[in-house]
Amino acid sequence: MKGLILLLMTTLWTLAGDLVIKEAHGDVAGVMKRLVKLVRDKGATVYAQIDHRKSAQKAGMDMNDEVLLLFGQPRADTRILLNDPRAGLDLPLKILVYRDFNGKTWIVYRDPLSLKKAYRLDHCAILPELSGMMADITDTAAK
């Protein structure tokens, strides 16, 4: 039942257009390792990896593996922030990798193009470039 609920939620999020969800091969740690390498190969800075499962365990709880990667390119991020400082709420960029209830690994991220809806970024030329980069690295990491 939990798997069906997650599948329905995933489908709804995908239809909303903001979240991009991809099934990945391998475990969370392996996919995250590939992502970190790909992000660095693109010249971006890895700011943090947040391990939600470790945090849950510290709180005396348990959950499936789930790690959030925070990264950015200071020149690109600054160009966005110069257009609308409020976009700092959604920067740096984030990619979540998690294991679902059925043992499948998933990559999820918010398409940078969706920032246009929330902020004054209609003329921010860097967003399509970031969107393409996110698609490329997550496609490669998912293999």
Choose the weakest-confidence range: 2-11, 37-46, 58-67.
2-11
Strands (E), 81-141: 93-99, 105-110
22 closest CA partner among 41, 33, 35? 35
**Average pLDDT score over residue span 89-118:** 96
Cβ neighbours of 115 (radius 10 Å): 24
pLDDT digits (tens, 9 = 90+) for 20-47: 999 999 999 999 999 999 999 999 999 9
Residue 80's domain spans which residues? 2-142
**CATH number of the domain encompassing residue 12:** 3.30.310.70
Local confidence band at 3 (pLDDT 50, 70, 90 cut-offs): low
Give the C-alpha separation, 31 to 51, whole Å: 13
Q: How many domains does the chain have?
A: 1
Residue 74 has pLDDT above 70, yes or no: yes
